[in-house]
A and B are shown apart, each in its own frame.
Chain A
Amino acid sequence: MKLPDSLGFLCSGSERDRRNQLRVALWSLVWAFSFLAITLVIKKNWLPYGVTIVGVFGTSILGIVTILAHRRFLRETDELQRKIEVEALALAFGVGLVGGLTYWLLAVRGGVPAKDFIYVFAAMIITHPIGVLMGRRKYS
């Protein structure tokens, strides 16, 4: 199936890359929605404990599927796209590590609430596509 050009802003590279990138984006969305839904269910205590645990593991499985889709993209894409992706992942990892440890120090000191640590992961998630865009700009 050929992807429409209107999706060009989402993906780049060959048709195979576009298809794989779209697959990663869709699985990421499904996982993110599942994560948000199960978070809400846990916070509001809407479902029995057993069902919630099943939901948590279900969300994890969706996360693993997303990782596998990303791995497939990295394996099948060409070497420059792979380099851009790896540089973006390194940037996101660095932001997560430095940001996470800084946040942890502040939480130990009592400056920020430890329960808001989730924002560090949010920063990593946001940093990755920014890194990809920076890479595309760097090599174009």
Chain B
Amino acid sequence: MKNRLKVLRAERDWTQADLAQRLDVSRQTVNAIEKGKYDPSLPLAFRISRVFEMPIEQVFDPEEGE
């Protein structure tokens, strides 16, 4: 599953650590999601969309699988 985490984070000038703190996860988790190595759970995906204040489908793209 592809995502726009890195772009959205850069638009807000946040570091991975900043985003990790907002999501209450480790920096490694943010890094793994950005690189597509780890797909977040549904609750975390919703938390991410809430942090970026946009619908979940604008952050994650389920059509483009691995």
> Contact between B29 and A140 (Cβ–Cβ < 8 Å)?
no
> Contact between A140 and B40 (Cβ–Cβ < 8 Å)?
no
B-contact bits for A54-83, CB 8 A (1 contact / 0 none): 000000000000000000000001111101
Using a Cβ–Cβ cut-off of 8 Å, how many residues does chain A contribute to the interface with B?
14
Determine the distance from Cα of A78 to Cα of B37 in the docked complex, in whole angstroms. 16
> Contact between B26 and A13 (Cβ–Cβ < 8 Å)?
yes
A80 / chain B contacts, CB cutoff of 8 Å: 25-26, 28-29, 32, 38
- Let me know if A9 is at the binding interface, CB within 8 A: no
Chain B CB within 10 A, most for which of A13, A78, A79: A78
Which of B's residues lie within 8 Å of A, judged by CB?
Answer: 20, 24-26, 28-29, 31-32, 37-38, 40-41, 44
Which of A's residues lie within 8 Å of B, judged by CB?
Answer: 12-14, 17, 77-81, 83, 136, 138-140
